[in-house]
Amino acid sequence: MDLEKHVEKILWTEQQIFQRVSELASEITQDFTPQTNAPAIVGVATGAFLFLADLVRKIQLPISVDFIRADSYRSGTVSDGNPRIPFDLKVDVEGKHVILVEDIVDTGSTLSCLIDHIKSKGASSISVCTLLDKPARRKVHFELVGKGKYYCGFECPDYFVVGYGMDFAELYRNLPYIGVLKPEMYS
């Protein structure tokens, strides 16, 4: 199966993603000093795994890394607005600064749920680093915790996108770019 034939258009190339991830890692590195407590970088599985891997390799700080899973799409193309957390953190985040790493912020429901969940574990502050932000679909306002910051790679138009870790029905994650999935592939 030639996955590239399923993509209507490419929004961000592999090189554009590489450049922006490097910039985000530099911003994070500058915002923390080696004297501060090492931030806990928490990737939201599974969509953020490639972004997380590339990002943490470029952060020039001591960090801990963990994953959390939140399900809100369940093989569809629209978030159902009811995220659940079937896979929790192993790292103790009490008193730490947490940077949640997301592939895409869409309605805001999942992110709001995750922020509340990590806050309940005693994180001193919570930042978000998302590769894509889709503000046109926002339904839930989320609030960062403490001195948390919002790091955003690209603002995404209201398309269903795949690639660079993002999927439809667990396919297309391995595409090296981010593209718009042809509607006939999910209709």
Give the helix ranges, DSSP H, for the chain: 14-31, 49-58, 109-120
pLDDT at 72: 66
Selected catalytic residue, list 106, 133, 158, 167: 106
Residue 106 a catalytic site member: yes
pLDDT tens sequence across 149-178 = 999 999 999 999 999 999 999 999 999 999
The low-confidence residues of the chain, meaning pLDDT below 50, are none
How many whole angstroms separate alpha carbon 122 and alpha carbon 135? 28
pLDDT at 77: 55
**pTM value surpassing 0.85:** yes
Cβ-contact 172, 159 below 8 angstroms: no
pLDDT at 83: 73
